[in-house]
Amino acid sequence: MPDSWVNLSESLGADLHLELTGPGSRRAVLIRALRDAVRTGRLAPGTRLPPYRSLAADLGIARNTVADAYAELVAEGWLSARQGSGTRVAHRAEPLRPARSAAHRAPASRPAHNLLQGQPDAASFPRTAWLAAARRALTAAPNDAFGPGDPRGRPELRRALTDYLARTRSVRTDPDRIVICSGFAHALRLLFPAVLSGPLAVESYGLPFHRDLLAAAGVRTHPLPLDQDGADVGDLAASKALRAALLTPAHQFPTGVPLHPDRRADALNWARTAGGYLLEDDYDGEFRYDRKPVGALQGLDPEHVIHVGSVSKSLSPALRLGWLVLPARLVGPVLEAKGEREAWAGVTDQLTLAEFIAAGSYDRHIRRMRQCYRRRRDQLIDAVTTHAPHLRITGIAAGLHAVLQLPAGATHSDESTALRAAQWQGLALDGLSDYRHPAATMPPRHGLVVGYAAPSDHAFPGALEALCRALPADVGPQAR
């Protein structure tokens, strides 16, 4: 064959798997094989077939035999040949396929308005800047980036995060102490039970998904009460068995208060005394709207705080990229839990995010989104203040959601009624009760958790109007 493989590969169309078996001439066998491939759907309508020469070389038969077979199938209507576009599978009725799965069809109907917490505006993903960063990053990457991955994650990304988190979140660390993961849930899976053991103190209101994940890992959780200063960490010393506490210090999830400075100090003192760890879920630390930013707890004691962040709120939950900033003595155990090679985080997004941060695009995107979400938050406050002045709005200094608290004396049933009213208006949102730890002892709180980030800019006003229609009227305490 006079062609080098480079020229050959460039001249080829689709790759094709054919078995030439059974009776008859080469030509007849090839025709049967191609016909079957089309009939059974292995060759989809519109698929381009390889040029005669390539298929002939692959199958070890004469070029004319392939040309004859193609011509025959064109004549029969299985293939179609057009000048300049080669030979393709003809557009015929859809082929027979095995029975479809009945399970997991598309959901019956989508709510008209998405005010679920925890989802950034998907329409604002910075596609152009991300692609530009990907181009620079993949062009500059060393070849070994495409070999088996280091479980710590790419050094480019760990360096970029070290500087970025120091600058914006007061995190003090070193690229060697960062381990890349695919998000907060993955961080929990890596830590429990391989690195830390339960019971784990958690906040009385928090993500059920995290509690379920911990329960599945055999980790018992102990709920800390919450008040206007965040989690009551005085409770940590009550149980001698506790060795770790999961906190959301910058913006308690979902009630929205920052952890009071005295509580921060108390929590760190507990960790030092008990030889324990604070697990800091910095889930939306980038989005602060007030003058007084709240730095990461980790900066106060890098040896007792495990700081976990991700791009799920800042860029997209679909990227699946997060990081653990670890105390020195936990780096080894976490890497051991992760395994010898990177099995989770893909290299292209790691390299792209590193470049995206280094080029300042991450800063620009977060500033842009911060202003967008702040504007929406202000609109939410205006609307609720106008339509339902009896509801208190809390947790609005930061983040992507607010809590509309039902008046004092409201019950679980009032919350359910409010949620049903919201559902009636086509609104997807959660009640505060959904987040309560089943073993929590603090007095229950009732309200609606309103995420204002998920809708696109053009869909937000409509969602807000629907919310206002759904909000409960002030029946006054005497009516109860």
**Least separation in angstroms between CB 84 and a copy of itself:** 16
To the nearest 10 degrees (0 to 180), the angle between helices 155-169 and 347-358 is: 40
| Residue 76 or 303 with smaller CB distance to a copy of itself | 303
Residue-wise DSSP of 119-164:
---GGG--HHHHHHHHHHHHHHS-GGGGSSPPTT--HHHHHHHHHH
Stretch near a copy of itself under the rule CB under 8 A, chosen from 143-151, 199-207, 383-391, 419-427: 143-151
Contact positions with a copy of itself (CB under 8 A) in 204-233: 209
Contact positions with a copy of itself (CB under 8 A) in 89-128: 97-104, 119, 122-123, 125, 127
Task: Name the nearest CA neighbour of 34 among 11, 67, 83, 3.
Answer: 67
Stretch near a copy of itself under the rule CB under 8 A, chosen from 4-12, 376-384, 420-428, 472-480: 4-12
By CB under 8 A, tell whether 284 contacts a copy of itself. Answer: no
Q: How far apart are CA 141 and CA 106, in angstroms?
A: 40
Q: How far apart are CA 200 and CA 221, in angstroms?
A: 5
**Least separation in angstroms between CB 340 and a copy of itself:** 8
Contact positions with a copy of itself (CB under 8 A) in 30-89: 37, 40-44, 47-48, 59-60
Q: Report the SS3 class of residue 246.
A: strand
By CB under 8 A, tell whether 7 contacts a copy of itself. Answer: no
Which of 56, 79, 347, 396 lies at the binding interface for a copy of itself (CB under 8 A)? Answer: 347
Q: How far apart are CA 307 and CA 327, in angstroms?
A: 9
Q: How far apart are CA 129 and CA 253, in angstroms?
A: 30
Please state, in angstroms and as integers, the Cα–Cα distance from residue 479 to each residue in 206, 341, 420, 470, following that order.
32, 63, 20, 19
Q: How far apart are CA 352 and CA 354, in angstroms?
A: 5
| Residue 56 or 242 with smaller CB distance to a copy of itself | 56
- Tokens 């992760």 -> residue: 338
Which tokens sit at 410? Answer: 């409201």
Which of 274, 372, 388, 428 lies at the binding interface for a copy of itself (CB under 8 A)? Answer: 372
By CB under 8 A, tell whether 27 contacts a copy of itself. Answer: no
**Least separation in angstroms between CB 413 and a copy of itself:** 27
**Least separation in angstroms between CB 152 and a copy of itself:** 7
The number of beta carbons lying within 10 Å of the beta carbon of residue 24 is 10
H-run or E-run covering 356:
helix 347-358
Which of 18, 67, 71, 442 lies at the binding interface for a copy of itself (CB under 8 A)? Answer: 18
By CB under 8 A, tell whether 262 contacts a copy of itself. Answer: no
Which of 55, 145, 246, 324 lies at the binding interface for a copy of itself (CB under 8 A)? Answer: 145
Q: How far apart are CA 210 and CA 225, in angstroms?
A: 18
By CB under 8 A, tell whether 131 contacts a copy of itself. Answer: yes
| Residue 8 or 274 with smaller CB distance to a copy of itself | 8
CA 459 centroid distance within chain: 22
**Least separation in angstroms between CB 82 and a copy of itself:** 17
CA 294 centroid distance within chain: 24
Stretch near a copy of itself under the rule CB under 8 A, chosen from 76-84, 135-143, 262-270, 428-436: 135-143
Give per-residue burial for 445-470: e unless 16+ CB within 10 Å, then b.
bbbbbbbbbbbeeeebeebbebbeeb
Contact positions with a copy of itself (CB under 8 A) in 156-175: 163, 166-170, 172-174
**Least separation in angstroms between CB 101 and a copy of itself:** 4
| Residue 281 or 342 with smaller CB distance to a copy of itself | 342
| Residue 223 or 253 with smaller CB distance to a copy of itself | 253
**Least separation in angstroms between CB 131 and a copy of itself:** 6
How many chain residues touch a copy of itself (CB under 8 A)? 109
| Residue 66 or 242 with smaller CB distance to a copy of itself | 66
| Residue 126 or 223 with smaller CB distance to a copy of itself | 126
Contact string (CB under 8 A) for a copy of itself, positions 413-452, x = contact:
----------------------------------------
**Least separation in angstroms between CB 220 and a copy of itself:** 20
H-run or E-run covering 427:
strand 427-428
Q: How far apart are CA 190 and CA 355, in angstroms?
A: 26
The number of beta carbons lying within 10 Å of the beta carbon of residue 79 is 22
Q: How far apart are CA 130 and CA 122, in angstroms?
A: 14
Which of 221, 248, 310, 316 lies at the binding interface for a copy of itself (CB under 8 A)? Answer: 316
